[in-house]
Chains A and B, each alone.
Chain A
Amino acid sequence: MTAPPLPKQGPEISYREAVREAIREAILGDPRVFLMGEDVGRYGGCYAVTKGLLEEFGPERIRDTPLSESAFVGAGIGAALGGMRPIVEVMTVNFSLLALDQIVNNAATLRHMSGGQFEVPLVIRMATGAGRQLAAQHSHSLEGWYAHIPGIKVLAPATLEDARFMLGAALADPNPVLIFEHVMLYNMTGTLDGAGPVDIRSAKVRRVGRDVTLIAYGGTLFKTLIAAETLAKEGIEAEVIDLRVLRPLDTGTILASVRRTRRAVIVDEGWRSGSLSAEVSARITEGAFWDLDAPVERVCSAEVPIPYPRHLEEAALPQPPGIVAAAKATLGR
C-alpha cells in the first residue's frame, strides 16, 4: 500500500521510519523521555520500529521488558507520576488486554480520583489491525474500546506526517495518550515535504467532495480514498474525513461535512456492534439529523474473529468495493 502521491522531492521515508524518527526526536529533546516494551531493544521492535535505537541511546533509555504487560504499562504510569515522560510500546492491541487494568483503572482515573493532584503524562504505542494473516489473536482493532474511556486520549495516525509528528504532540500533552499504529501502514512510503508539527485535536478532510462524506481512520483511510476515486469515475464526489483522534472525537468536523453532503458512510476495521462506528453514527444522528438525506451507512469488519486464510481475512475486512457500494446506497444508487 502506498500513500497518495506526494511530491517526490525529499527523501523517501516509510511509516515505520517516521515513527522511529519521532521517538528519536523525543528522546533527544527531553531527558525525561524513555522507551520501554517487549523486544524494543536488542530485537529492534516487533515491527522493527525501534531498530537501532538501543545502539544509539543505550539500555537506560531503551528498555527491554519481560513479557509482563501489566507490570511495564503500570510502571510507565508510575514513572509518569514520578516525573518521567515514558513511551511504552505494547506489541499489539490484543496484548494490551493484559494491561487493561492499568490503563483503565489507573492511567485513566488517577487525575480524577486524586481530585486533580496527580497527572499521568504517558504515551502508550501499539500496533493494531489485520491484513498480515496473523489470525485471531494478533489482528483485531480494539482501539474503539479505549475510545470509550474518559481520561485517556486515543490517536490513530494514518499518514506519514501524523506518524512522524503525533508522538511529539502526545508527549507534550499532560494526559495519558494511546497511539494506535495500523500494521499495514508500516511499509507505506512517501516524503515528508512540507510536513510539520500536527495537532491531536482535530479530524482532517483528506479529500474534498460534495455528494457523500466517508469517515475513516488508520488502516481504512487509504481503502476509503481508493473507494472515493472509484466513485469519482461514476460522477460521485465523496469527501473523505480522517478521524485521526478517536478520543476526543472531532464532532465539529464530522458534522460540518455531513451537513453539507447530507450523507455519511463510516468505515471502521473494528466490529460493528458496540463500536466506534456506532458512536460516530450516533453523533451524526444527534447533530445532523435534520440535514440527512439518507440513513448513515457503516462498513465494518465481519463479526468474526479474524480468520487466517488470506481470502477469508480479506473478506472479513472493509474493502473499497464495499465502501463504494455503501456510498452509492446513500445516494439511492
Chain B
Amino acid sequence: MTDAHAIKPHLSREHLLDLLREMVRIRRFEEKCAELYQQEKIRGFLHLYIGEEAIAVGAMRALEPGDAVIATYREHGHALARGVSMDAIMAEMYGKIEGCSRGRGGSMHLFDAATRFYGGNAIVGGGLPLAVGLGLAEKMQKRSGLAACFFGEGAVAEGEFHESLNLSELWKLPVLFVCENNLYAMGTRLERSESQPDIHVKAQSYNVPAEVVDGMDVVAVEAAMRKAVAAIRSGAGPILLECRTYRFRAHSMFDPQLYREKAEVEEWKKRDPIDRLLSWMRQSGALHDADLAAIEAAVAKEVDRSVEFSESGKWEKLETLTADVYAGEVPP
C-alpha cells in the first residue's frame, strides 16, 4: 500500500464531491443538533465540531475498514465520516435504544463495532492509551490495521499523551495520533497552558515523527493522512499529525465564550473548510452549478429523516436498567 496511488488523494471530481458532501453532512447534522438541544430534545453536553470538519473527513478517507478509530467527546463528525449511520447517531443523541450505543452513551459516547469505532471518550487524554493497546493488538496478531486516535490539543497537557507516545514508539506500534489543535482547551488558550506550544516538537522528543497540517484544508489533511498511514503500515511505528484548526462554535452549548474575541472567530471563519473546498472546486471547474444544491437537498433530507427516526425510537425499559454492565448475570 505504499505506491504513490495510495498515498496521494485522487482529486477527481467525484472524490472532491464526496469530501464536500461529508463535510456538509456533518455541518447540517450538528446545526440540527444545536436546534434540538435548545428544544430540550437532546440533553447532557453537546460539543459541536463545526469548523473542524476537514480533519475527520480527510482522515477517514485515508483509513481502511480494518483500522480502529478512537475519538473524543467532540466526535459526531468522526462517527459520521467513519460511516456510522446518521439515524443511529441522532437516535443516540435522543437516548433511544436505536442509538449507536443503545442510548447508553449520548453525544459524548458514540460507539460502533461494525466500523471499529471505539468511542467517544470524554476523559481528556483517556483515549490515547486505548489506541496504544489497539495498535499493540494489531501488531501482536500480525494484522495490517492501525489505530487512529483523535484528540484535542488540551490532551497534550495530560500525562497520558506523553506516556502513550513514548510507549507506542518504544514498541513501534501502528498508531496514528491526530491532534486537532483548535487552540482552546475549553476556554484555556494553548499558550496559557503549554510552555512549548508547538505540539509536533513534543512528539519529536519521543522520536515520534510529526508533521503540522492545515486542518482547515480537507485535501491537505487527506494527503498528510495517506502519507502517514502508509508509513505506519510499512512498520515505521507511530506518527503524530498536528492539525491546526478552529471551532467556530462555543465549547459546548452553555458557553458565553468569555475567553476569546469575536474578531478572532470571524477571522477564522474566513477559512471555513467547506467554503475553501467550494471555492477551490469552483476555480478548478470541479463544481457544477447544481452540485451544491443537490448535496444540500440530499443532506437536509437525511437530517430530517434522522430526526423522524429518533422521534419514533423507543426508550429502553427500566427492567434492563443494569444491562451491559457485565457479560452475563452478575449480582450487584
Please report the total number of A residues contacting B with Cβ < 8 Å. Answer: 46
Flag if A81 contacts B118 (CB, 8 Å).
Answer: yes
The reply to whether the CB of A197 lies closer than 8 angstroms to some CB of chain B is no
The reply to whether the CB of A101 lies closer than 8 angstroms to some CB of chain B is yes
Contact with B along A51-82 (1 / 0, CB 8 A): 00000000010010110101111111111111
Q: List 16 A-B contacts (CB under 8 A).
A: A70-B160, A72-B129, A81-B137, A82-B136, A82-B137, A84-B136, A106-B130, A110-B118, A111-B327, A113-B120, A114-B101, A115-B101, A119-B327, A153-B330, A173-B327, A174-B328
Contact with A along B212-234 (1 / 0, CB 8 A): 00000000000000000000000
Flag if A174 contacts B327 (CB, 8 Å).
Answer: yes
Contact with B along A159-180 (1 / 0, CB 8 A): 0000000000000011100000
The reply to whether the CB of A2 lies closer than 8 angstroms to some CB of chain B is no
Select the residue from B99, B112, B160 with max chain A CB neighbours within 10 A: B160
With A66-B167, A79-B140, A101-B126: A117-B105 Cβ-Cβ less than 8 Å: no
A83 to B134 alpha-carbon distance, docked (Å): 9
Flag if A77 contacts B129 (CB, 8 Å).
Answer: yes
Question: What 13 new A-B contacts, CB under 8 Å, besides A82-B134, A116-B324?
Answer: A71-B128, A74-B126, A74-B164, A75-B129, A75-B130, A78-B133, A78-B147, A101-B123, A114-B111, A115-B103, A115-B105, A150-B322, A175-B330
Flag if B136 contacts A151 (CB, 8 Å).
Answer: no
Given the complex, which residues of A lie within 8 Å of B121, measured CB to CB? 106
Flag if A79 contacts B137 (CB, 8 Å).
Answer: yes
Q: Give the nearest-CB partner of B327 in chain A.
A: A174
With A71-B164, A106-B126, A113-B109: A248-B118 Cβ-Cβ less than 8 Å: no
Flag if B326 contacts A151 (CB, 8 Å).
Answer: yes
Given the complex, which residues of B lie within 8 Å of A74, measured CB to CB? 126, 128-130, 132-133, 160, 164
Given the complex, which residues of B lie within 8 Å of A175, measured CB to CB? 326-327, 330
A65 to B118 alpha-carbon distance, docked (Å): 24
Flag if A113 contacts B104 (CB, 8 Å).
Answer: yes
Given the complex, which residues of B lie within 8 Å of A73, measured CB to CB? 129
Flag if B119 contacts A82 (CB, 8 Å).
Answer: no
Flag if B137 contacts A117 (CB, 8 Å).
Answer: no
Flag if B129 contacts A71 (CB, 8 Å).
Answer: yes
A236 to B164 alpha-carbon distance, docked (Å): 56
Interface residues of A in 20-65 (CB under 8 A from B): 32, 34, 60, 63, 65
Flag if B123 contacts A116 (CB, 8 Å).
Answer: no
A34 to B136 alpha-carbon distance, docked (Å): 11
In the A-B complex, the 3 residue pairs with the smallest Cβ-Cβ separation, listed nearest first, are A78-B133, A74-B129, A82-B137
Flag if B163 contacts A116 (CB, 8 Å).
Answer: no
A248 to B323 alpha-carbon distance, docked (Å): 15
The reply to whether the CB of A102 lies closer than 8 angstroms to some CB of chain B is yes
Residues of A within 8 A of B (CB): 32, 34, 60, 63, 65-66, 68, 70-84, 86, 101-102, 105-106, 110-119, 150-151, 153, 173-175, 248-249, 251
Decide if the interface of chain A is mainly helix, strand, loop or mixed. mixed
With A115-B101, A115-B111: A79-B163 Cβ-Cβ less than 8 Å: no
Q: Give the nearest-CB partner of B324 in chain A.
A: A116
Flag if A66 contacts B163 (CB, 8 Å).
Answer: yes
Flag if A81 contacts B330 (CB, 8 Å).
Answer: no
With A70-B159, A114-B113, A118-B113: A77-B325 Cβ-Cβ less than 8 Å: no
Q: From residue A143, how far is it (CB to closest CB) to chain B in Å?
A: 17
A173 to B327 alpha-carbon distance, docked (Å): 8
Given the complex, which residues of A lie within 8 Å of B134, measured CB to CB? 78-79, 81-82
Q: Give the nearest-CB partner of B316 in chain A.
A: A115
A219 to B195 alpha-carbon distance, docked (Å): 47
Contact with A along B136-149 (1 / 0, CB 8 A): 11101100000100
Flag if B129 contacts A66 (CB, 8 Å).
Answer: no
Q: From residue B82, how far is it (CB to closest CB) to chain A in Å?
A: 14
Given the complex, which residues of A lie within 8 Å of B135, measured CB to CB? 78
Select the residue from A74, A86, A112, A119 with max chain B CB neighbours within 10 A: A74
Q: From residue A37, how far is it (CB to closest CB) to chain B in Å?
A: 12
